[in-house]
């Protein structure tokens, strides 16, 4: 599914920007996806969340509970749980030092959990969250992000027999940007070179994949 309108609005809202950015993985990326500012644009937020509901229903994903990863994933998981009338849980990245010291807030035992986050890069955050859910007797078969950067997350989650789904991925986004003249030749070349150098070839067009 291609969502040109969403990509255009993400560019206008500066959710997707171009430059030089150091990622948490240590890589220097020629673009950045900042979905943390999406809630500041409620119209676009509602549009994206509605499309995700449509995507989930079309994909026939079977689940009982929606779980978000702190911090960004919680926002989108909460929104989806309200739209879809599904129970909500969330996964901490580290235990609290007080109270019950839980890594998971919410009920997931023996429930099929749809794991939600905003962006996937290496997949390590999702991978760790899946392990936590399973250690707490939850069932995870699918994870869903708004944007997959196509930098190994899908393959990482396959190690746990979990399918990563995304509303958009960078290959689709780049095609839309080029088609609508929303990216310069230099920015395009830097993105293609970045993926080639990192060894992630899914972003490349057939005539570039040599």
Q: What is the pLDDT of residues 167-193, one digit of tens each?
A: 999 999 999 999 999 999 999 999 999
Is 98 annotated to bind a ligand? Reply is yes
Instruction: Give Cβ neighbours of residue 124 (< 8 Å, ≥ 6 apart).
Output: 156
pLDDT at 206 over 50: no
Percentage of the chain beyond pLDDT 90 is 82
Which among 91, 150, 90, 79 is positioned nearest to 120, based on CA atoms?
A: 150
Q: How many Å apart are CA 38 and CA 36, to the nearest integer? A: 6
Q: What is the pLDDT of residues 117-168, one digit of tens each?
A: 999 999 999 999 999 999 999 999 999 999 999 999 999 999 999 999 999 9
**Alpha-carbon separation of residue 108 from 64, 129, 148, 166 (angstroms):** 9, 13, 25, 23
Is 140 annotated to bind a ligand? Reply is no
Is 92 annotated to bind a ligand? Reply is yes
Is 120 annotated to bind a ligand? Reply is yes
Is 96 annotated to bind a ligand? Reply is yes
Is 122 annotated to bind a ligand? Reply is yes
Is 117 annotated to bind a ligand? Reply is yes
Is 80 annotated to bind a ligand? Reply is no
Q: How many Å apart are CA 210 and CA 134, to the nearest integer? A: 40
Burial 92-112 (b: 16+ CB within 10 A, else e): beeeeeeeeeebbbbebeebe
Q: What is the pLDDT of residues 68-92, one digit of tens each?
A: 999 889 999 999 999 999 999 999 8
pLDDT for 26 equals: 84
Q: How many CB atoms lie within 10 A of CB 142?
A: 19
User: Fold for domain 4-203?
Assistant: Rossmann fold (3.40.50)
Is 17 annotated to bind a ligand? Reply is no
pLDDT for 175 equals: 94
Q: What is the pLDDT of residues 1-19, one digit of tens each?
A: 579 999 999 999 999 999 9
Burial level of 130, CB count in 10 A (0-12/13-18/19+)?
A: buried
Is 36 annotated to bind a ligand? Reply is no
Where are the chain's structural domains? Answer: 4-203
């Amino acid at each position: 599914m291609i969502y040109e309108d969403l990509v255009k609005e993400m560019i206008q809202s500066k959710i997707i920007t171009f430059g030089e950015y150091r990622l948490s993985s240590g890589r220097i990326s020629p673009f950045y996806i900042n979905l943390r500012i999406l809630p500041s644009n409620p119209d676009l937020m509602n549009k994206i969340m509605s499309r995700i509901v449509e995507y989930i229903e079309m994909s026939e994903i079977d689940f009982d509970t929606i779980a978000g990863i702190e911090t960004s994933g919680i926002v989108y998981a909460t929104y989806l749980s309200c739209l879809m009338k599904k129970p909500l849980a969330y996964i901490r990245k580290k235990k609290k030092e007080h109270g019950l010291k839980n890594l998971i807030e919410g009920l997931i035992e023996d429930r099929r959990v749809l794991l939600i986050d905003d962006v996937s890069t290496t997949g390590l955050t999702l991978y760790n969250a899946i392990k936590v859910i399973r250690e707490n007797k939850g069932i995870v078969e699918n994870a869903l992000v708004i944007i997959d950067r196509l930098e190994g997350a899908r393959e990482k989650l396959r190690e746990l027999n979990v399918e990563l789904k995304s509303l958009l991925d960078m290959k689709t986004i780049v095609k839309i940007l080029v088609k609508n003249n929303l990216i310069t030749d230099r920015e395009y070349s830097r993105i293609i070179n970045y993926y080639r150098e990192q060894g992630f070839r899914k972003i490349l067009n057939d005539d570039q994949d040599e």
